[in-house]
Structure 1
Amino acid sequence: MTQACGLDFGTSNSTMGRVGADGVPQLLALETGKPTIPSVLFFSFEDDTIRFGREAVAEYVTGADGRLMRSLKSVLGTALIGDSTRVKARSYGFIEILGLFIAQLKARAEGELGETLDSVVCGRPVHFVDDDPVADAAAQDQLEGAVRAQGYKHIDFQFEPIAAALDYERQVRSEKLALIVDLGGGTSDFSVVRVSPERARASDRSGDILSTAGVHVGGTDFDRLLSMAKIMPELGLGTMTKDGKRHLPVAPYYDLSTWHRINRLYNAQALRDLRGTRREAQAAARVDTMIALIEDRLGHRLVGAVEAAKIELSDADGTEFTFPVRDQIVTASISIADFTTALTNSVERIEATIAETLRRAGITADQIDSLILTGGSTQVPAIASRLEALFPSAELVRTDVLGSVGLGLAMDALRKFGPGAA
């Protein structure tokens, strides 16, 4: 018999779901009894092993020698997908690294279930790549190839916000017009969907999806923007050359603030370029700190500290950022106002995409009955408060922000591959 599951491979976290014999979807325990696993790998140089999820992060934080890989989903459909990263004597392509992580998810899910999974519905953002349908299609093909290589025979895809709607629909008692806002680690997706108890029983829901739209803005972008605004200036960003004629190059600071680009700084040429920049810099001491940080391969740890500061700002008006680099400490005072300012352009892009979603559906904001928030980035105050202001009359539904997509994908997998499916 076909054994089907839903796979939510996320930029920051991943889940897998399955509908049980009782007809209720559930997330599978993928790590230490938890249904979520960070989408992270750590290649240990000390014992030549590969660690995944929280174990990978914990190993990295201890200072173990190795290579941390995160935000893997972000490379799909981009030129980076053809790149490779060196792990001691071996080079790994990004597609191969994706496969390693997906294979681990499958093995853990099968261990939890005690059976082999051969069919899967994978979640996908509305747009892997903005305004480029060719690259977007290539991204799905790349993900499908990585999934198929792990032994899945039957693979289908579902938009992540639609999966969230399927999960929400289990609790509705009457027909509603819902806007699903799915703000993940890498993308923000929006869908206007009709939901009701009667519609929930239909196998084909395409007629209930009134519109979809998405934009490539998410939690990792918020980390990068906060880093560029408040942390990178402490390393020289925005300062001038000694002759006062130009600013220092922006590119290495952008790379250092972006998870999947940090490895590009870990080579001899990048360090030579930075040392050249340092010789020309007014704020040479700041560039010295950046060079030391890169020489010690602390880039991913720095972005992790920025992410922790971002999370702190979900519940506080400000935070004091500190990060040691050899005998120096990079410090910055960050207020919620600083964070909100850093996100101004991103919030505007999200609002514009929501407006486009409503326009495509032929409706106005006051016609939305339910505003369904899913994805970890909906917890960012600057985002959440703006969404509530845009839809003041809508019922606010906060789902399991990390699990609702996986649950919906599990339900979709049962419909597509379960008993009686076409």
Structure 2
Amino acid sequence: MIKTALHFLIATTAPAGAATSMTYCAIDFGTSNSAVALPEGESIRLAPVEGEALTLPTAVFFNTDEDNQSYGRAALEAYIDGFDGRLMRSMKSILGSPLADQSTDLGDGSAIKYTDVITLFLQHLKQKAQALATEPITRAVLGRPVFFVDDDPRADNMAQKQLEACAHAIGLREIHFQYEPIAAAFDYEARLTHEGLVLVADIGGGTSDFSLVRVGPERAKHLDRKRDVLAHYGVHVAGTDFDRRVELGTILRELGYQSIDPEGRELPNRVYFDLATWHLINTVYGPKRVGELQLMRHLYTDVRHHERLMRVVDRRLGHALTAHAEEAKIDVAAGGATEIDMEEVEEALRIAFDESQLIDAGKEEMRRIVEAAQETVRRAGVATGDVGAVYFTGGSTGLKFLSDALAAAFPDAQPVFGDRLASVATGLGIYARRVFA
């Protein structure tokens, strides 16, 4: 049923004989959140993508109980409400990997390719833009990270081609790509009255990308901005990596992660890493894997850990635990403390979590992100003191300890915070207007 619906969708999104005067949109397909922009008169507007919301979580839920799909917050709510099916998040992170062309089980005996899931999600975004457009949308600018895949140009190029193929499949005939941090620079530039040198820090769910850009009202008049982009660099480390560290350091310790067996050795950790990685969670639920985990009971000196692990596997709670880790990160992001409620695993099981634990869990990720920002400026051949502003965008810039660390690395620069979830989409829209209009 899913495949049939997808094939019908692809076949009907680009009607023959479409008008030659075509409208266009800009799509910010993010690891954690997404948005779509389109022209409105002389300006750019974001399309409502879920009710009145201008951004939505990058999530799809394949509801096998009701044989349908839901997107964004509705997808997360359907999953939490207990409907049978498969929740997909962080789909962008599989681009360029061997998983991209593989299929995933939906839980009812059917399967779908990962790239087809991305196609469905892009189609959902395009439909929201199309609802506001007066003509068929057949051209688009898509954002992309500086690197889809670190230190692997071939895989990085493959990732863009895979995303481009998904965009073509929904009827987009002319596609341009723009680096996400450069798009954010265009959004920042739109409010400037003077020229300056800005380091854009775009830290989302899957990547931390940096661009050093000369900006200003006169420069904004030119379509070709190659000379204004002095350097760009990035690392495949961002919000979901902090979530993973939080889950491993708190929740999964209560299931036996890094515990010692009777022989004094650390327990095998693969199951824990898989449970903390969105696109690998379902691999833990296969009959063969479950049988292997059941046979490991004798390795646990604290049998409660094994019992909790098996409850998580038997009840398929992996995605729920990852969501708990993300919620805990958000709760303490600006300082404070919270409790992680593990009632679905064991009655009265709660885990205290505070900012110091968050900082400790993410210190390696923070170091790599700050070094990537510094490397960007080094590649430009510019002194740190010449950077006039650091422009923060992307959901993970809400982590105060991380934005503070980046600001401290450029003490002479003014920290400026854009719309964490929408500035890239707006900047992509600005670029789309320049390209297509």
Query: TM-score, normalization: structure 2?
Result: 0.93
Which of the numbers 91, 115, 123 marks the counterpart of 2:135? 115
- The answer to whether the 8 Å contact 1:126/1:159 transfers is yes
| Equivalences, count | 416
* Corresponding residue number in structure 1 for 2:270: 251
Structure 1 position 281 matched with structure 2 position 325:
no
User: Does residue 131 of the first structure (1) align with residue 151 of the second (2)?
Assistant: yes
Partner of 2:206: 186
Partner in structure 1 of residue 179 of structure 2:
159
- 1:361-393 CA-to-partner distances (Å, cap 9, x unmatched) read 111221111110000101102201111211222
CA distance in 1, matches of 2:70, 2:362: 33
Match 2:256 to one of 224, 236, 243: 236
Per-residue deviation, 1:100: 0.9
Partner Cα separation in structure 1 for residue 54 and residue 329 of structure 2 = 23
Distance of 1:134 and 1:276 partners within structure 2? 41
Deviations 1:53-75, CA, capped at 9 Å, x for gaps: 11111111111111111110010
Contact 1:248 1:277 in 2 (8 A): no
Question: Percent identity over the alignment?
Answer: 39
* Structure 1 partner of 2:356: 337
How far apart are 1:329 and its partner, in Å? 4.7
Residue 89 (structure 1) shift: 2.8
Q: Distance in 2 between matches of 1:352 and 1:387?
A: 9
- State whether structure 2 residue 436 is matched by structure 1 residue 409: no
SS in 2 for 1:32: coil
TM-score (norm 1): 0.96
Runs of 4+ more than 3 Å apart? 326-330
Deviation at 1:327, TM superposition (A): 4.3
Matches within 5 A, 1:310-349: 310-349=329-368
The whole-number CA distance in structure 1 between the counterparts of 2:379 and 2:401 is 26
Q: Secondary structure at the match of 2:37?
A: strand
In 1, Cα distance between equivalents of 2:367 and 2:403: 13
Q: Which amino acid aligns with 2:411?
A: P
Aligned pairs (5 A) from 1:7-86: 7-21=27-41, 23-86=42-105
Distance 1:226 1:70 in 2: 18
1:202 aligns with 2:222: yes
1:308 to 327, 330, 333: 327
Unpaired segments of 5 or more residues in structure 1?
A: none
CA contact (8 A) 1:2 1:417 kept: no
Greater RCO (Cα-Cα under 8 Å, separation 6 or more): 1
State the distance in 2 between where 1:271 and 1:382 align.
39
Deviates more, 1:88-97 or 1:206-215: 88-97
> What do residues 111-159 of structure 1 show as CA deviations (whole Å, max 9, x unaligned)?
1334321101100000000011010001101111111101001001000
- For the Cα contact (< 8 Å) 2:146–2:233, is it kept in 1? yes
Contact 1:120 1:155 in 2 (8 A): yes
User: Structure 2 stretches of 5 or more lacking a match?
Assistant: 1-20
Equivalence for 1:367: 386
1:4 counterpart SS class: strand
1:4 pairs with one of 18, 24, 27: 24
Aligned residues of 2:28 and 2:36 also touching (Cα < 8 A): yes
**Offset at 1:243?**
2.6
Which stretch of the first structure deviates more once superposed, 335-344 or 271-280?
Answer: 271-280
Q: Distance in 1 between matches of 2:135 and 2:255?
A: 51
Q: Which has the larger displacement, 197-206 or 298-307?
A: 298-307
Deviation at 1:272? 1.4
Q: Which of 306, 312, 337 matches 1:293?
A: 312
Match of 2:288 in 1: 269
Structure 2 counterpart of 1:259, one-letter code? W
Which position in structure 1 is the counterpart of 2:404? Answer: 385
Contact 1:3-1:118 at 8 Å conserved across structures: yes
Contact 2:23 2:133 in 1 (8 A): no
Q: Write the distance in 2 (CA, Å) between the matches of 1:350 and 1:301.
A: 27
| Structure 1 stretch displaced more, 110-119 or 147-156 | 110-119
Q: How many angstroms apart in 2 are the aligned matches of 1:357 and 1:404?
A: 21
Contact map agreement 2:374 2:409 (CA 8 A) in 1: no
| Contact 1:318–1:334 (Cα < 8 Å) also in 2 | yes
